[in-house]
Structure 1
Amino acid sequence: MPAPRLMYTRRIRFASVYARSIWSMRAAHPRLERGEGRSKDTEARLNADRSIGEPTMKTQEAIAQHFGLMYQTAAANLDGLTQEQSLMHPSPGGNCANWILGHLTNVQNGVMGLIGEKPVWESGQLTRAGFDPISGAANAIEWNTMRERFLGSKDRCLAAISGLSDRALAESVPHPFGGTTSRAELLHLLAFHQTYHVGQLALSRRIAGLEGAVKGPGQVQKV
């Protein structure tokens, strides 16, 4: 049996010879290198192979899918959470679910305007979800109505996003932090923002003593 080093050396030599032979064939047959002389069936197979893995999802579909997952996860994390539980704060700091959902609703109102839809919920109570935390029942936002309005806006939101034209997505709109951006880029940013805060509601569930709603592969899913 050849020594390991000798076997390795032979493999290297074989690979080198094989590579040189391939390049020699290409040099000898430039028409094949350019793709000339191939049958129609061969060309069709090559084109089909090139198309494998190429993205086919439109921008509208991608944005709608992101918002759809956000709504789906929000519904799971909000399931069974009461007004009283929505006021429980994490320790040593952080916002309660009442503030988080109020903030989500405020921002989603902006999203709806960006896609030509009516707001999720127009209420003066939403001003309580500003820079200061909601610290007690007296300052709380009416939980059941807010949750119902937020989750109830899903179909309108996704339909409006899916119906946007490419021109509308490319239009320049004001950026929240100054300057301008395209409508598509801003929607991507807002979808991320909403999903980030929806994830915080999972912590609110655990603080309230509820089971986590979003499970891993192989577990029973609530979403």
Structure 2
Amino acid sequence: MKNDIEIVKIQISSNYKVISMNIDGITNEEAMIFPNGEANCMNWILGHLIYIRNPLLNILDEESVWDGEKLSCYNRGEIPLERKDEFVSFDELKSYLKQSQEKLEAKLDAIESFHPETIKDISTLCLHEIYHSGQLGYLRRILGKPGAIK
């Protein structure tokens, strides 16, 4: 069934646009600001999005864009404030995001169908990305930038 692949392609493409718009013009220093001294910063949220994109790539029989062990500071359940010294630069994260997007788009263009047992995980991972891309929009406003989505 091709419809499910088309839905995921649209979600991945739309998410990438929203994420890109929300992180546009954000400096590395701004990306490291933890609102209220504790809320997740933009660097962590973007890194976390990429961290979780890797399992999506793996489900689609594609290689991760980075070593998850080396960059475990971006994993779910971590306390970002305690591991901020391990974060990579915001520009490096943007590069990883672009790589993950290119890999996802190429794979989704090439496959005929999803393995039925992966549908739930794929759907959940898309929802995860939508959730965090919205957080980037709020963080952008908190940083004093105009909203990117009009």
TM-score (norm 2): 0.85
2:141 matched residue in structure 1: 206
SS in 1 for 2:35: coil
Shifted more, 82-91 versus 126-135: the winner is 126-135
Report which structure shows greater RCO (CA 8 Å, sep ≥6). Answer: 2
- Encode CA deviations 1:114-140: one digit per residue, 9 max, x unaligned: 112221233655222242123586343
CA 1:149–1:92: 2 relative to 1, 3 Å: closer
Structure (1 or 2) with the larger CA radius of gyration: 1
Q: Of 111, 123, 133, which residue of structure 1 is paired with 2:80?
A: 133
Q: Answer whether contact 2:60 2:107 (CA < 8 A) is retained.
A: yes
2:39 matched residue in structure 1: 94
Report the CA distance between 1:81 and its aligned residue.
Answer: 0.8
Q: Answer whether contact 2:137 2:148 (CA < 8 A) is retained.
A: yes
Q: Of 55, 58, 62, which residue of structure 2 is paired with 1:113?
A: 58
- What is the number of residues matched between the two proteins? 148
1:52 matched residue in structure 2: none
CA 1:132–1:92: 2 relative to 1, 3 Å: closer
Matched, 1:169 2:104: no
SS in 2 for 1:91: helix
Q: Answer whether contact 1:128 1:140 (CA < 8 A) is retained.
A: yes
SS in 2 for 1:121: coil
Identity %: 26
More helix by share: 2
Q: Answer whether contact 2:73 2:83 (CA < 8 A) is retained.
A: no
- For residues 77 and 151 of structure 1, what CA distance do their matches in structure 2 show? 14
Shifted more, 201-210 versus 117-126: the winner is 117-126
TM-score (norm 1): 0.60
1:44 matched residue in structure 2: none
2:27 matched residue in structure 1: 82
- Encode CA deviations 1:44-98: one digit per residue, 9 max, x unaligned: xxxxxxxxxxxx9711111111111111111111111111001112237421111
- Encode CA deviations 1:14-73: one digit per residue, 9 max, x unaligned: xxxxxxxxxxxxxxxxxxxxxxxxxxxxxxxxxxxxxxxxxx971111111111111111
CA 1:143–1:189: 2 relative to 1, 3 Å: same
Q: Of 116, 121, 126, which residue of structure 2 is paired with 1:191?
A: 126
Please show how residues 5-16 of structure 1 align to structure 2 within 5 Å. Answer: none
Q: Which runs of 5+ in 2 are unaligned?
A: none
